[in-house]
Amino acid sequence: MSVILVGAGPGDADLLTLRAARHIASAQVVVVDRLVDPSVHDLIPLSAVVHYVGKTPGESHSQASINELLVRLGQSGQRVVRIKGGDPFLFGRGGEELIALHEAGVACDVVPGISSALAGPLAAGIPVTHRGVSRGVLVVTGHVADGEFPSLRDMAHPDISIVVLMGIAHRAQISRELVSGGLSPETPVAVVERAWTSSQRSVRGQLDGLAVMEVVSPAVIVIGPVAAMSLREISAQLAGAI
């Protein structure tokens, strides 16, 4: 009895680890999130039974129901692969699923994925740390827990990059919290939508304009001086010179 918990990375299937791709290709049963890229779905065998458990506005699978499904499938004796976007253990509730399986006596093998917190910004040419620009990075959630928005004031450091996951719906509060914590309203901001997919889009601006940026989920918000950088332009120039 076992389940393979696979991190699908931030987008294109080319960013999967070899181990992840191998497990997906041999799955008999797959439990998959909504945000997993279609290119990853293409690796699922046609003979596999697929359960879609994504969370969408107005229609959502509770975490408890997902845990119950994984336990039931894990006890079936089939090769069960649970695919979650990004890295399942960075605001992905991977730990909750692993604990539920453990308590039910179902073994769980974990395959880490590339986190969108790091790879998402890089898709737009933004390094989350850069010598002389940012000496560290904070990864936080913009998701409201129990109806209460988490305070970000103590995270307002001008030489530390802030990466916000699941923060689009509350970007106005994010901006207010960080400015009240001491960040300049002119601090560079970048929002990267659907990183590493064919529909990727980046929007840049300043912290005081974050609330009115025309952006949609899923997206990663980058706040700090690195958000003004674009290594893609540099790499393109170098490639053109070769």
Catalytic: which of 33, 37, 84, 87? 33
Q: In residues, how long is the chain?
A: 242
Q: Please report how many Cα atoms fall inside a 13 Å half-sphere around the Cα of residue 214, on the Cβ side.
A: 0
Q: Which pLDDT score, from 0 to 100, does residue 232 have?
A: 72
**Sequence-distant (≥ 6) Cβ neighbours of residue 50 within 8 angstroms:** 29, 30, 31, 32, 44
Catalytic: which of 14, 37, 55, 208? 55
Q: Which pLDDT score, from 0 to 100, does residue 34 have?
A: 84
Domains, the chain: 2-111 (3.40.1010.10), 116-232 (3.30.950.10)
Stretches where the chain sits below pLDDT 70 are 55-60, 144-148, 233-242
Residue 132 CA: distances (Å) to CA of 19, 125, 136: 36, 17, 11
Among the listed residues 78, 66, 64, 103, the one whose alpha carbon sits nearest the alpha carbon of residue 1: 78
What pairs with residue 74 in β-bridges? none
Q: Which pLDDT score, from 0 to 100, does residue 152 have?
A: 86
Nearest-angstrom CA–CA distance, 242 and 179: 44
User: H or E segment at 231?
Assistant: helix 231-241
Whether 33 is a known active-site residue: answer yes
Tokens 């290594």 -> residue? 231
Whether 55 is a known active-site residue: answer yes
Exposed / middle / buried, residue 203 (Cβ in 10 Å: 0-12, 13-18, 19+):
middle
